[in-house]
Structure 1
């Protein structure tokens, strides 16, 4: 299911002293099956764009097409339930939204709210706990007795229990330690690769963009500044610096090596790429020094 923005603008509190521009003339497509990263400095419009992906916000102007459904400024707020089932949203620190007495009931709440019978919703909860890598014995525990990382997995399991086609993630690893961050990103990779789920992720972690995404959207002041593959986006370090954006750690290291005489045919984005490129060059470098 593709999601397409056609000349979309959004204004907060129009006609009031607090009026502010969230998006301005944005046109882009998030293709079905893609892993899209959305980046940009604070206030660039990332969160506003996310909330258009399942019609939590409607455009002030333009059209957002979600699958075969068009959302316009005139769209009635009723009958949007189907969209919100297909596009699952995981907001920052989703564990703060847990509230049920047990993990199983919390995960099952969303499907039941959308009309899934209780028995089926409870069965989904069992499967989702396994899918997100939690032991089965957490099902009967209070979510508030779990660790922070486990609570986040429960919250994500609740979204996945809705069986969405698109999973939207707002800073999904915020506040996690390095091990927890890697485990969380591995989960999203499995969902993308094994189930063909479309992933849309807002992040400030450029390493995650380089390692996982195949499409990048750069926002600036509510406008689309650039889009492309990670390699295309990170190929211009000066442009990224001017936009107050960083580089993946590996790419930063490669830039330092270039200053020492190394040459790369293309920008290395991951550790494996850098290692392979260095292996091809190091023997000649060593030989030069011996001479």
Structure 2
């Protein structure tokens, strides 16, 4: 299921003295089965863009086509429930949305809300808890007795239980330690590969963009200012710095090494790529 933005602009509190521009003339397509990262500094329009992916917000002008549904300013709010099921949103600190007495009930809440029977919802809860890498025995526990990382997995399992085609992740590793972050990102990669999910990731972690994404959208002041593969986006470090964006660690290190006379083509994005290009040059240095 593709999601296509066609000249989408969005104004907060349109027609009031407090009107503010959220999006400016954005046109792009998030392709089915892609892993798209959205980057840009705070206030660049990333979250506003996300909320158009399942019609939480509707364009002030332009249209968003989600699968076969076209959303415009005139779209009636009544029949948007099926869309919310197809596009699952995991907001920052998703564990704050947990509220049921047991993990099983929390995961089953969404499916039941969408008409699943108790048995179907319970079966889904069991399946999803395993999918997010938690042991089945947590199903009977209170989500509030779990660790922060586990609680976040339960919240994600609740979104996955709706069986979405698109999983939208807003800073999903915020507040986790490095090991927890790595586990979480590996889990999303697995879901992308095994479940065929389209993933849309908003992140400040450029390493995650380099390691996992196949397409990158760069937002600035509500406008889409650049898009392309991670290789294309990170090929111009000066441009990224001018837009207050960082580099993957390996790319930043390669840049420092270039100042010392090392050569890289293309600029490495990951530590493996850095090592592959660096080793022959270090090895060669001994033979001069």
TM-score scaled by structure 1? 0.98
In structure 2, how many angstroms separate the alpha carbons of the residues matched to 1:144 and 1:52? 31
Residues 1-291 of structure 1 aligned to structure 2 (within 5 Å): 1-288=1-288
Deviation of 1:15 (Å): 1.6
Moved over 6 A (4+): none
Deviations 1:133-174 (A, max 9, x none): 111110000000111000000000000000000000000000
How far, CA to CA, are the matches of 2:246 and 2:283 in structure 1?
31
CA distance in 1, matches of 2:77, 2:286: 67
For 1:19 and 1:121, locate their aligned partners in 2 and report how far apart those are by CA, in whole Å.
42
SS at match of 1:11: strand
Distance (whole Å) between structure 2 residues aligned to residue 265 and residue 285 of structure 1? 18
- Post-superposition shift, 1:287? 2.1
1:110-133 per-position Cα deviation (integer Å, ceiling 9, x unaligned): 000001111100110001111101
Counterpart Cα distance in 2 of 1:141 and 1:194: 28
CA distance, structure 2, for counterparts of residue 233 and residue 225 of structure 1: 11
Cα deviations by residue, 1:56-75 (Å, 9 ceiling, x for unpaired): 00000000000111000000
Q: Pairwise CA RMSD of aligned residues?
A: 0.6
TM-score with structure 2 setting the length: 0.99
- Which runs of no fewer than 5 residues in structure 1 stay unpaired? none
1:286 to partner: Cα distance: 2.2
Q: Unmatched 5+ residue regions in structure 2?
A: none
Structure 2 counterpart SS, 1:244: coil
Distance 1:181 1:263 in 2: 31
Residue aligned with 1:139, SS: helix
Quote the Cα distance in structure 1 between the aligned partners of 2:194 and 2:85.
Answer: 20
Distance 2:260 2:155 in 1: 47
Give the number of aligned pairs: 288
- Could you list the per-position Cα deviations for residues 1-22 of structure 1 after superposition, in whole angstroms to 9, with x for gaps in the alignment? 0000000000000121211000
